[in-house]
């Protein structure tokens, strides 16, 4: 009898444990479900933050690009034009497009009158002292050029534009050859003309043997267009003056 009672008690305990286990299982499931939901929420927040940051970055980049295309930003930050009156004065005097001269100055020094290269070229148009000395004789300046005089903006612009005009004349008005000579030297360009059979209508910048000179010519031509576009009224006045 006692054995039967013990057996019944044992069975009751088993059933009780099973019932407790069944009652606990949904709680565990709820906890697991709750845990997954929190992870999903965290992931959702992270994705939301990433989307917002990406959108803000896109808007910022678009805004910067848009602002950089305005005349104000281009004129004041990207393509400024200090010494403009001096450039246009000597461009008219020597028959050079002022936008081309401005493009040369931008490529050479970015209008920094104190610029000096490791090769010794100085000033806005990066003239070598011996070249400036020679130019001084050609334009009838009766003084010996000091480094300070060469760096002085008006003198540097005057000599540089005169030199650019002389190169245009030497190469029959071909701006590409004149610019190549301004960068690489007139002797090298004359050698290329002889070696490759270039003619007066030469227009293939990519055919220039020196990579530095190719890049230089392309930059100046790009800057020339920028200055023509941004400072069109003065460019037009130059053209009308030349026509007269």
Please identify every residue annotated as catalytic: 108
Please state, in angstroms and rounded to a whole number, the distance separating the CA atoms of residues 244 and 235. Answer: 15
Neighbours of 234 (CB within 10 A): 20
Contacts of 133 (CB under 8 A, 6+ apart): 144, 145
Please state, in angstroms and rounded to a whole number, the distance separating the CA atoms of residues 85 and 69. Answer: 25
């Amino acid at each position: 009898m006692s054995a039967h009672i013990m057996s019944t008690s044992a069975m009751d305990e088993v059933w009780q444990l099973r019932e407790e286990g069944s009652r606990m299982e949904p709680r565990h499931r709820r906890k697991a479900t709750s845990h997954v939901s929190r992870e999903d929420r965290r992931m959702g927040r992270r994705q939301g933050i990433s989307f917002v940051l990406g959108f803000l970055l896109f808007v910022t980049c678009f805004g910067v690009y848009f602002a950089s295309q305005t005349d104000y930003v281009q004129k004041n930050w990207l393509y400024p034009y200090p010494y403009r009156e001096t450039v246009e004065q000597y461009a008219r005097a020597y028959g050079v497009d002022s936008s081309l001269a401005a493009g040369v100055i931008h490529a050479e020094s970015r209008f920094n009158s104190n610029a000096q290269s490791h090769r010794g070229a100085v000033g806005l148009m990066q003239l070598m002292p011996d070249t400036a000395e020679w130019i001084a004789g050609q334009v009838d300046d009766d003084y010996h050029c000091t480094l300070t005089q060469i760096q002085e903006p008006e003198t540097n612009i005057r000599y540089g534009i005169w030199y650019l005009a002389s190169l245009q004349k030497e190469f029959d008005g071909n701006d590409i050859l004149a610019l190549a000579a301004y960068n690489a030297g007139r002797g090298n360009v004359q050698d290329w003309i002889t070696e490759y059979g270039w003619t007066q209508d030469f227009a293939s910048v990519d055919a220039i043997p020196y990579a530095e000179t190719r890049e230089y010519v392309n930059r100046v031509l790009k800057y020339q267009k920028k200055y023509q576009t941004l400072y069109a009224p003065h460019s037009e006045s130059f053209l009308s003056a030349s026509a007269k």
